[in-house]
Amino acid sequence: KPQLVASNDRFCRFLEEYCPVVTETYYPTIWCWEGRMQTLLRPFITSRPQVQYRNELIKTADGGQISLDWFDNNDSLYYPDASTRPTVLLLPGLTGTSKESYILHMIHQSETLGYRCVVFNNRGIAGEDLLTPRTYCAANTEDLEAVIHHIHSLHPSAPFMAAGVSMGGMLLLNYLGKTGRDTPLMAAAIFSAGWNVFESVESLEKPLNWLLFNYYLTTCLQSSISRHRQMLEKLFDMNLVMKARTIREFDKQFTSVMFGYRTIDDYYEDASPCRKLKSVGIPVLCLNSVDDVFSPGHAIPVETAKQNANVALVLTSCGGHIGFLEGIWPRKCTYMDRVFKQFVQAIFEHGNKFFSM
């Protein structure tokens, strides 16, 4: 069984009644139980549901643009009125977009419940041009704030929550830690977030983890900015950035410089959601596996979570990073997908019972 960490008895009772998956035994796929294997195989094993998006480009205060992919769900039987149709904002991981299999599965789950989804693509990685020499990072929440304000202004009467995966979860937690209760979001779900960036990069720099994950992700980051090289060369030594062989080197030469941090340690401290967890002011459910090399079990802020009545952690012993495969042939639904579906349904359909407690 997963470990459910929550200081708020009301939150625990609410989850046990309306999101019972968090108390059920999770059986990882028997031939794929090790965390690194779960992490590596999920993108190849799981199906990719067909999703038709409507793209929208919104302008930012600094002259940039953000690409949003909408799944309007206009055929919703449960919520035919678009003005009150519940909306889920989805935040993909480090180099992820609306095309990631885990995002497509979240949209598929939301579709069956009648909800609308919006995917927040970080600047410059979803095919749109960079209009300014700026991309994104886990600590800077300005773009996310603009997106949340934009969506809420379009549908002010619609119930609204968000779900973030990996770096998307870190960004969402940092936003919630900054805003407290001053947000139009009712609640949030966080999956496989890296809680302490120092611990995450140290884990990813161990030889096997560097070989399996770190080097590949570094090349993905470099690939995501190479298309915008002409724009970015105005501010950066791109030859030096392209020589990075670890995420830490990339962040030292590029990310921390872009967002004005004096040192990479200053950036990593600001980017670590564990520092802001006490300030979260709305219900948040966070799923992590303790065998996740991107977010080591010893770095999960269990004691800090117990000090905030709005926070619940669900910790599994297996599952890896965005893995959580289950069943003999895990093509379709994962444990993570089931947690997502039950929690968003619990908030949208029964949240009034929790908020009135």
Tens digit of pLDDT for each residue in 207-218? 999 999 999 999
- Do 55 and 160 share a structural domain? yes
| Number of structural domains found in the chain | 2
pTM greater than 0.95: yes
Q: Which pLDDT score is estimated for 313? A: 98
- Do 126 and 168 share a structural domain? yes
Q: Which pLDDT score is estimated for 119? A: 98
Q: Which pLDDT score is estimated for 66? A: 98
User: By residue range, what is the domain housing residue 295?
Assistant: 3-196+272-356
Query: Is 321 annotated as catalytic?
Result: yes
Q: Which pLDDT score is estimated for 234? A: 86
State how far the Cα of 38 lies from the Cα of 30, in Å rounded to an integer: 11
Last residue of a domain, one of 245, 271, 297: 271
Q: In what order do the strands lie in the sheet with 65-71?
A: 3-5, 311-316, 284-289, 188-191, 160-165, 87-91, 116-121, 65-71, 54-59
Give 206's DSSP letter.
S
Instruction: Kindly name the residue from 105, 108, 155, 321 that is annotated as catalytic.
Output: 321
Amino acid at 132: T
pLDDT per residue as tens digits for the range 263-285: 999 999 999 999 999 999 999 99
* Strand (E) or helix (H) holding 207: helix 207-209
Q: Which pLDDT score is estimated for 331? A: 82
Q: Which pLDDT score is estimated for 356? A: 63
Q: Which pLDDT score is estimated for 257? A: 96
Residues of the chain falling short of pLDDT 50: none
- Do 327 and 254 share a structural domain? no
Instruction: Kindly name the residue from 143, 292, 295, 337 that is annotated as catalytic.
Output: 292
The dihedral sign for the CA sequence 261, 262, 268, 272: negative
Instruction: Kindly name the residue from 166, 200, 203, 256 that is annotated as catalytic.
Output: 166
Query: Is 266 annotated as catalytic?
Result: no
- Do 203 and 192 share a structural domain? no
Last residue of a domain, one of 229, 245, 271: 271
Query: Is 292 annotated as catalytic?
Result: yes
- Do 117 and 188 share a structural domain? yes
- Do 57 and 42 share a structural domain? yes
